[in-house]
Amino acid sequence: MNDTLFAQGADAAMLADSVDHFLADHYTFEQRRKRLAMGPGQRGCWAQLAELGWLGLPLPESLGGYAGRWLDVALLMQRFGRALVVEPYIANVVLAGGLLARVGSQAQQLRWLQPMMEGRAQLALAYLERASRHTWQQPQAEVGVRNGRTELDGRKSVVLGGATADAFIVWARDSDALRTPALFLIERGRHGVSCVPAPTIDGHAAAELAFDAVRVSADDRVGTPTQALDQMSLAIDTAAALSCAEGIGVMEALFHCTLDYLKQRQQFGRPLASNQALQHRLVDMHALLREAEGLAQWAVEAIDAEPAVRAHAVSTAKVHVGQALRHIGQEAVQLHGAIGTTDEYPLSHHFKRATALSLLFGDVDHHRARLGQAMRNDHRPRAA
């Protein structure tokens, strides 16, 4: 496996060693299966992740974080992908935590960000709706004044980390003439909030949310309406780039598991790996993995770039990593045969996670369309 990817510098090497040791002790395949059998409401190793400082890794020192680089977080996600970690790291630290760190009020940061980094609370960003697919820019959930009270109504689907979240940052619109999108921080236990856990195919726990006349106040707003769209774009692009890094870890596990299997499996007195046709398929898998690694690292390095540069890098990586996840996953299952689909075998779990990651934060078609639109905008004639 490529242990130098994302690991630039002595500090990164120490982090990689720490993560590898932790996962070897706490996240074997059997330990993970036992954790999944407990149901979607369990927090697993969340407290241990906090003790190691990983929940505050990319967050500012002024807020109690460690001001780590995005490459450090990508290294963490790569290792999480190999071990199939199900704790909602991106949902908390990157999406909800990142938004609160950048535009949350001091009161919101003290109330929720500090406990999240300390492992005492979990957060989630609720931004997708059933009919929206990837067009999240125009939310249907609405905040308006009714009977003299400001209330939130609407539904949110596939809320990552929502099954265990204590509070949600909700992407909604004001019921004004402009239908201005805005962000609101809503506690799970507030009257009118309904949260139904929705386990995903890869063992993670999302949720379906419903808001029925949920009272909100000015203190519940996260940032200003003028900041909301740009901050949401940054949060989702960041999460997409880091999901690519996680995908690299998943593909590494798929490839090496397949390589080991073909070396061990005998047919007609010879290992399957000696078959030249199968060797060619392994080479194709390896080439796709190496291409995806470079593009994933490019996307992570572009997180802090200008929005147009960031969007181009992230969408390019999502297209190539998404295609690689699908191809390598399918090849791994086919080369294993029936055993590759059984629940008792780790490969099937990596295949499920590869499938989910290829769709997360926009599938291949969505990001191709995004790149095409950017190219059209770049070549549009400008007025004199």
Domain that residue 132 falls in: 126-224
* Same domain, residue pair 60 and 83: yes
Tell me which long-range contacts 135-138 makes (C-beta under 8 A, separation of at least 24): 136/171, 136/232, 136/236, 137/181, 137/229, 137/232, 138/173, 138/179, 138/181
Q: Which of these three, 183, 208, 224, is where a domain ends?
A: 224
Q: What's the pLDDT at 12?
A: 87
CATH number of the domain within which 334 lies: 1.20.140.10
Whether 121 has a pLDDT exceeding 70, the answer reads yes
Whether 304 has a pLDDT exceeding 90, the answer reads yes
Q: What's the pLDDT at 382?
A: 61
Q: What's the pLDDT at 131?
A: 73
Q: What's the pLDDT at 379?
A: 74
pTM of the model: 0.94
Query: Mean pLDDT score of the chain, rounded to an integer?
Result: 93
* Same domain, residue pair 237 and 283: yes
Q: What's the pLDDT at 3?
A: 77
* Same domain, residue pair 234 and 362: yes
* Same domain, residue pair 234 and 270: yes
Whether 353 has a pLDDT exceeding 60, the answer reads yes
Whether 133 has a pLDDT exceeding 90, the answer reads no
Q: What is the pLDDT of residues 173-216, one digit of tens each?
A: 987 756 889 999 999 999 999 999 999 999 999 999 999 999 99
pLDDT band at 146 (very low <50, low <70, confident <90, very high): confident
* Same domain, residue pair 145 and 84: no
Q: What is the pLDDT of residues 83-99, one digit of tens each?
A: 999 999 999 999 999 99
Percentage of residues in the chain having pLDDT higher than 70: 97
Q: What's the pLDDT at 84?
A: 96
* Same domain, residue pair 142 and 79: no
Q: What's the pLDDT at 267?
A: 83
* Same domain, residue pair 112 and 235: no
Q: What is the pLDDT of residues 150-181, one digit of tens each?
A: 999 999 999 999 999 999 999 999 877 568 89
Give the number of domains in the chain. Answer: 3
Whether 350 has a pLDDT exceeding 70, the answer reads yes
pLDDT band at 43 (very low <50, low <70, confident <90, very high): confident
Q: What is the pLDDT of residues 240-270, one digit of tens each?
A: 999 999 999 999 999 999 999 999 988 888 9
* Best mean pLDDT range from 127-131, 275-279, 317-321: 317-321
CATH number of the domain within which 31 lies: 1.10.540.10
Q: Which of these three, 121, 146, 165, is where a domain ends?
A: 121
Whether 4 has a pLDDT exceeding 90, the answer reads no
* Same domain, residue pair 165 and 191: yes
Whether 384 has a pLDDT exceeding 60, the answer reads no
Average pLDDT (32-48) is 85
Does residue 165 fall inside a structural domain?
A: yes
* Same domain, residue pair 215 and 240: no
Average pLDDT (75-87) is 96
How far is it, in rounded angstroms, from Cα 237 to Cα 341? 32
- Work out the number of other CB atoms within 10 angstroms of the CB of residue 41: 9
Average pLDDT (106-133) is 93
